[in-house]
Amino acid sequence: MAGGQAERRVLDEYAGSYLLTPAIELRIVASDSSLPLVRGSRPAERLYAIDDRIFDRHGVRGFWLFERDAAGAVARLVNWRDNQPVAWR
């Protein structure tokens, strides 16, 4: 069920810049009910909470998963499409 709610404190922890390569970056911006994803000069795309770690973009295959390290810090953002992970650090 897409369109659930994640706690604002969790959304704030996910906000920041993530790199696919040194030249390819995206930014996550926390808002009240979603996480806007910004890549370059493209319009922001909203990620909607499925739960506290998994988000999707309405109408687009796949999902986005925030992973944490052993200390609990956000370590990477993984975009799962067609059973293939694309990891942003």
In tens, the pLDDT along 22-67 reads 999 999 998 876 789 999 899 999 999 999 999 999 899 999 999 9
pLDDT of 1 > 60? The answer is: no
Is position 48 within any domain?
Answer: yes
Domain count, the chain: 1
- Residue 1 in any domain: the answer is no
pLDDT at 3 over 60: no
Q: Is residue 39 part of a domain?
A: yes
The verdict on residue 43 lying in a domain is: yes
| Residues ≥6 apart with Cβ < 8 Å to 71 | none
Residue 17 lies in a domain: yes
The range of the structural domain enclosing residue 55 comes to: 8-88
* Per-residue model confidence as pLDDT tens digits over 16-32: 999 999 999 999 998 87
In this structure, is residue 2 part of a structural domain?
no
Residue 38 placed within a domain: yes
**40 is a domain residue:** yes
Contact 71, 3 (CB under 8 A): no
